[in-house]
Amino acid sequence: MAIPCDSNETSYLLPPNSEDWEGHGIPDFVYRQEELRLEGIQWPGKAPSLPDTPPLSRFDSALCSAWRQRMELGLFRYHLGELQTKTLPGAVGFVAQLNVERGVQRRRPQNIRSVRQAFDPEQFNFSKIQPGEVLFRLHREPHLPGALQQEDILVVINVSPLEWGHVLLVPEPACGLPQRLLPGALQAGVEAVLLSSHPGFRVGFNSLGGLASVNHLHLHGYYLAHRLPVEGAPSEPLDPGGHLHLLQALPAPGFLFYTSGPGPELEALISRVCRATDYLTDHEIAHNLFVTRGALPGNTSPSSALTGVRVILWARKSSFGIKEGEAFNVALCELAGHLPVKTSQDFSSLTEAAALALIQDCLLPPAQAEEVQAALVALTAQEEQ
């Protein structure tokens, strides 16, 4: 899949000689307030757009050109070609993709037994990655309005990619942060979505017990040239202020937070989401989170216009390790409707009903789900007082 390389972005490329990579240093990507684009990013009326469809934003150009170079240099565990993709028949609109190599070659998950497990420097972590795997350091321009304090965010290739442009957003690795969502990391993830001019660039987070395989704080970002069910799924408000909504549509009910743009409204959203994830972590409840451009909350439809950013949070049963015999493992992208399938046989035979059964088996029992909902509504009410 060809990604054009902007000649002005050569600073994000590695030197041709691998011996020079270690001393190359990490380039900075410094972005301005006006690059956080909200308006004018929509799905085209024809076939789905690809990540290489102009116009690319400056962020897309930097990420895609550097990512493609690392693929050509063999820094990934496998070469990612164009993946076989189909939309499963049915009402949900699952996007299934065959990705055999990831199922076989991805790094084995760490031995994780708690959502609150401490960081262990002896285990694999992102301070141990190879030279060349870091694409750039993501920085806001100093004094950006409404900006939270945050550590540097490294944009790193995922060596076992789900899709084109699959990267990890990693706060300063030397800090040794466990896999617990922090406001600065989430704000960088939301702003990465706004920096992209592609409607299919999404960001997500898996907690420990929610299929995070590395206990070192990171978010995922990747391109998928297809609409997903959660972008326009209808919702109902759970609080009078309309700050917390419930997505009731399939594939899984989730909590919806929404912002129409950067600034104080986004900062307030970050605070609400992280209070919710703190509650879940403190109560040993695994969770997954997905950030995408999407429609306003309320009575929307799958084809609704992308008017802002949706952040969807799912509380779920804890799952430690990988279940080998299933068509896919349920984490952030599966809950959003994107199903990376491990084998050709499962890809050929997978139905909407079977996919829903796998996903719903990972959800909290109804009584516990109601308890979590009541707690998050109470948290929202406290914030509004």
Active site positions, annotated: 218
Task: Locate 296 and state its tokens.
Answer: 């306003």
Under DSSP, the state recorded for 210 is B
Q: Where are the beta strands (DSSP E) in 111-200?
A: 134-140, 153-157, 167-171
DSSP string, 15-31: PSSGGGSTTS-PPEEEE
The answer to whether residues 273 and 313 touch, using CB atoms and an 8 Å cutoff, is yes
* Exposed/middle/buried for residue 113 (C-beta within 10 Å: 0-12, 13-18, 19+): exposed
The answer to whether residues 293 and 199 touch, using CB atoms and an 8 Å cutoff, is yes
**Of residues 124, 211, 210, 209, the one with CA closest to residue 170:** 124
Rg (CA), the chain: 20
DSSP helix/strand/coil, 218: coil
Under DSSP, the state recorded for 219 is E
C-alpha span between 247 and 356 (Å, rounded) = 16
Q: How many CA atoms lie less than 13 Å away from 358 in the CB half-sphere?
A: 20
